[in-house]
Amino acid sequence: MKKQLLTALAVLSIAASANAQVFPNGAMENWQTLNIDEPNGWNTSNREWRLVNGQFTVTKSNDSRSGFAIKLETRVSEDGDTAFAYFANTEGDPTAGEGGQPFSQIPQNMTGYFKSNIAAGDSAIMLVLFKKNGVVISQSTYKFTGINNTYTAFSFAIQNLSVTPDSVVIAAASSNVLDEVGVTPGSWIIFDDLALTGTGVTQTITNGNFDNWTTTTLYNLNDWFVMGETVNRTTGYKGSYGVALETVEYEDGYIGQTALANNGYDNNNGDPIGGLPYTRTLDTLVFWYKYNAAAADDSAGVYVTISGGGSPVGGAFKLLGAASAYTKVQIPLQAFSTPDTLRLMFSSSHNQGGPLTVAGSVLTIDEVQLASTPLNTGLKNIFKNSASIGLYPNPASSVAVIQTNNKGTISYSLNDITGKVILNGEGNEINLSNLNNGIYFVTIKSGTEVIAVKKLIKE
C-alpha cells in the first residue's frame, strides 16, 4: 500500500507540475489584516495605496510640536511605480476644488510648521482653495524644499480672496505631483499645527494640529492587484471568505469602479506586468459570483487577455448580470497560438465613469480557477471519491469503462508512468486500441472536479 501511495503521489506531482497553472489565492482565503491610523477629518493616500513594500505612505508621527503630527513619504511600490503620499480634507479631487469643509471668513495666510528631507529637484506641495456656491474663487499653492531637521514655521499668502467663501479645500503631497517635476522616492515631510490666519479670522481647520487619529482595520487580499478603494472581505462560496468589489460615487459625481486583477501595471509605459504563467491553447475559466446591481442596466465585467511573447493570442470578455446567490460561471478560453501569460480582471461595473445610478453596485467573487487545474483537486478528495468509482476491465486490451454514479459530464486524461499526458477524452469509455501495452494512470473528472485517479494496465 505504501509503495502504491508513493507511486500515485509521484504521478500526481508530475501531472500537477505539467499543468500547474493555478491562480494564486484563487480561493480568496488569504488576507492581510492592516491596522491603520488615519487623521480625523482628513483623507490620505493610505486607502489608495494600502501598503507600499510593507509600509504606509502616510503615518502618525510622535515627532511633533505637541501631541501628534502627520508624516508624508514618497515610496516605490512593488511593481516599480512611484507612490507619493498625500492628505486632503476631501474625498474628491482637491485640484478641482471638490469637497472641503465649511469656512466663511477671509483669511490672509495659511500657516503651520514642518520638518522635511526632500530630494534635490523635488518639492512637497500644499494647495489651498476657497469656494463659494461650488465655484473656486481662490487658489494658492506653496512648495517646500530641502532638508529641515527642526520644526520650521511657514506662512504663505492666500491669493485673490476678495469675497466671503463658504468652504475651503486643503491638500498636501510629499512630492511635486502637480508639475510632476523631480518626484523622488524617499522625499518626506512632516506637518503640524496648520491654521488659516488674518484679521478677524477665528475659524479653525478641523484637526489642523493632527492630534486626533482613529485606528481602523483594512483587509488586503494577498496575490491580487486591486484598482480602486472599495474592496472588502466577505462570506465566500467555499471556505471562509470571498472578495467584494463596489462601485462608488466620488464627490464630483464621477463613478469609480473597483477592479481586481492578477497583474499590476508599469506606469512608466502603462503596460501590464505579472499575470498567470499559462501555456494551454484550450481551457475554461471557472468562478462563482454574486452581483447586487444598483441599477437595472448595470453589469459587472470579466476581462481575459491571453498573450504570448508580449502579443495577444486570445482572450475573452463577459458581462455578469444580477445574482442574489453565488452563481457558477464558465468562460471558454482559446488561444490561436501557444501562449505564455493569462491576465484576468474583474470590474464592479462595466461602463467607466457612469452613469451615477450604478453607484453602490457590488460584485462578489470566489473560487477563481481553471478547469484544467481546479482548486478542489487534492489527495483527500481523490481518495474519498475513488473507492466508489470503478474502471473495468482492468487489465484491458481495447476499451476500459469508467463506472460512476456522478450525473455530471465525465472526462478523463491518461498519463504514462513518467507523467506525460497520452490521451484526453470525454465520456465513460476509454479507447485503448492505439496505446502501447503498459501501466497508465487515469485522472477522472466530473465537470471540473477531479473525482478519482485510477491505475490502468493495458495488455
In sequence order, what DSSP letters do the residues of 423-458 get, joined into one string? EEEESSEEE-TTSPSEEEEEEEEETTEEEEEEEEEE
Cell matching residue 237: 462560496
Mind listing the pLDDT tens digit for each residue in 298-343? 889 999 999 998 899 999 999 999 999 999 999 999 999 999 999 9
Helices (H), 65-151: none
Who has greater pLDDT, 275 or 182?
Answer: 275
Assess whether pLDDT exceeds 70 at residue 395.
yes
Assess whether pLDDT exceeds 70 at residue 10.
no
| In contact, 70 and 39? CB cutoff 8 Å | yes
Please tell me the least confidently modeled range out of 249-258, 392-401, 405-414: 249-258
Between CA 252 and CA 47 the distance in angstroms is 19
CA dihedral 419, 425, 428, 432 (to 10 degrees): -70
Assess whether pLDDT exceeds 90 at residue 447.
no
Three-state DSSP class for residue 2: helix
What pLDDT shows up at residue 89? 93
List b or e across 385-407, with b for residues whose CB sees 16 or more CB atoms inside 10 angstroms: bbeebebeeeebeeebebebebe
How many CB atoms are located within 10 Å of the residue 34 CB?
Answer: 14
Assess whether pLDDT exceeds 60 at residue 404.
yes
| In contact, 442 and 454? CB cutoff 8 Å | yes
Assess whether pLDDT exceeds 90 at residue 387.
no
Q: What's the pLDDT band for 378 if we cut at 50, 70, 90?
A: very low
List of domains in the chain:
2-19+376-458 (2.60.40.10), 41-211 (2.60.120.890), 216-370 (2.60.120.890)
- At 334, phi and psi to the nearest 5? -140, 135
Mind listing the pLDDT tens digit for each residue in 335-365? 999 999 999 999 998 765 455 567 788 999 9
